[in-house]
Structure 1
Amino acid sequence: MPQPTETKISQRGSFRKEPSVLEKDDGLYIKRSPSSPQGGPKKRSAFEDLTNAKQGQDLVSKKKGGKSVGKKTLKSTAGKETSKNDENNLKSTGPKDSQEQQDNAVDEKKLEQQDNGVEQKKPKEPASPEEKVADVDKSVGIKLSAYDDVDEENLSDPFLNAIYANDIFSYMKEREEKFVLKGYMQKQPDLNIEMRAILVDWMVEVQENFELNHETLYLAVKLVDHYLAMTVCMRETLQLLGSTAFLIAAKFDERCPPCVDDFLYICDDAYQREELLSMEMNILRTLKFDINIPVAYRFLRRYAKCARANLETLTLARYICELTLQEYEFIWESASKLAASCLLLALKMKELGGWTPTLEHYTGYPVTDLHSLMRRLNLLLCSKPDEKMKAVRYKYAHNVFFEVAKIPPMDVLKLEEQLKLDT
């Protein structure tokens, strides 16, 4: 079994890093794909019947086409058609009026309708779909911009759940308000910001070497922050807290999570099995077993799909977002806003345009709301990395991740020019 981590926080109360060992390209652990493997079971056509969207429309159309008509309706309709036909026959067989008499008859009919308060209107032609999207809401006075329906092309595939995608992410944005974090380090007498950053740096290496999903890493860091915001923790149990948070997050997100002995091993046997299980119960009870916390990585993948960004641009946005995990000053930012800002900065760095109406629609953020956070993210990229915490930068400097860590950040003046164009 390969060495699971290069960074060790083995001794209680001491934080140290062993010299990093550069691994070969072939030996680098690559994150496993969450999608189904190739050669898996083929999709059954019967599954498409589970989606009622298209099927419901067909049923409605069939009902309309085969609607039964009662006898009374048939009689009344037949009577109307007969009287109408008789009138047309009388007109066709009767003598033709002169043009002057016809004009006078039309004028008299208009006068009668005006006297009776009846005004004939020309039937309005139905609007095209483009006109409906760009229509003006007169009650509010706002013009709705056109946007692409990114889920429409996936409606036929029931495995993608495209029909529920908007509802899922709307629900996640609502839950964000329940998990707002505030500064908690002043309540921790034995911890500081640097200790938290070292712990997160170690957790990044654990995620990479155990080949866990990135969602697991983000959730584990969230669990650590929310626990520290409510409970005092000593430095000798900080690594135990990080390992146990990873265990809980892996049970929540992974198909095959690592076992308890694996997390005891990566802590260099500094803790006992009973201590880890006890910490697990403490975390769950403190958070009241509500651990479905929205993380920025889930929003980032959704927004990148809405922007139709390629994998390299998404990886650059992931790199920026993962750098924020170590930074204490980003813990109170909402996950959806952080993901949107990371994607916009990545689009600017790759010169792929700016914020589109589609992104504004699906994220719910106008571009001006992201400017302040974008500036802070760009400054984070420009800052000199700490020698003790290089796990994220080293990870994304590999060619597996397109070496996005080597892409130079945007010049501050150039970024300000881009932001002025957006306003």
Structure 2
Amino acid sequence: MKAKKKVIFLVDMQSFYASVEIASDPTLMGKPVAVVGDPAKRHGITLAANPEAKAAGVKTAMPVWQVRSVCPNVEFVKPHMQKYIDTSIQITHILEQFTDQVEVYSIDEQFLDVTASQSLFGPPLQMAKMIQERIWKEVGVRARIGIGENKIQAKMACDNFAKKNKEGIFELNRQNYRKYTSPLAINQLFGVGSRMKRNFERIGIYTIGDLANRSLEEMKRRWGIMGHVLWLSAQGIDYSPVERNSTEVQKGIGNSITLPRDYYIQEEIETVLLEITEEVCRRARSMHQKGRTVHVSLRGADFDRPTGFHRQTTLPEATNNTMEIYQAVLQLFHRFWDRKPVRSIGINITQLEDDRQVQLSLFADPIKKLRLGQVMDEIRERYGRTAIFRASSLLSAGLLFDRASKIGGHEA
């Protein structure tokens, strides 16, 4: 019996943060709206803009002063992260009424495998319209849906076509994929950033079609597994399944923040690195996880001339002890920081293990260290994040007290 052709949806929420704010405050309907941080503390970067604001020239990551210059009548709204999280969960529940194969890809994007749902809800286009109507009726947010035979086709259909047509729905398949994607600029292929774009252009690859026409062997020789994956993507080939409840399978634990100003001084940056490490390790301990590989990323404020680094190091054994992780963070920082001002910092741990499986050591007492961290976590859980803290957080560079009442760096 011939296997049924897969049908994969990528459901993407239009201008998600802005749309949620408008749904909460109907007086904003029809007005240009931009969701930004706190301008007084230079968190004035645009997180989201609705179609009316975008039509006036407002773009994501645009600073507040520039938004005002291109769209003087814009309505600024501060982000409310808990509201966005709750709305995202509500949308997931709606999607789960169409299929149990739902993969939460980000706060505003979800993959669905609806192959087996067609007998209940009809063909893909009809089902996509039903999903759009349900989300609009129950949440007040517009959804765009890319349809494909796999995840890369669905993602490309959504990002490059569904977001730009009136219906907000577009389908790619093995028959039409090359026809529609070949003329697109190479950076419109999912996974190709500015650096990879430059690499491709150096060897004469300017469009997705150019990449598709090159040999797989050449791409693998030049860029290894990354070249292999991008070549497959240019062909519309993707073997990765929709992973149900994939967010529950924790592959890494991390935290990143945008700083309220440029940080130039090494000691100030180290203070923030310690605070972020503390938060990452607290999360890890709460999940009974410890990590072996430590990732650190620093970025400057100039998006046109990127500065900073993203590096990682692997420890002899996994840990969730704050100071052990922090020492690895400092080693990466001291080795790779380019001395340019820093505006955002991220720290992650991967290669996770269960911390209840403790490896005894002749030279240390891991159980004592783990218990110390847990006691500190219990105090913070009961009395608040500022009930017990490191003295360095009292320095002017410290952000602990400012962030204690926020989610994701923004007001809850």
Which structure: larger Rg? 1
Higher helix share: 1
Higher strand share: 2
For Structure 1 versus Structure 2, the TM-score category normalised by the shorter chain is under 0.3
The structure with higher relative contact order (CA 8 Å, sep 6+) is 1
TM-score where L is the length of structure 2? 0.25
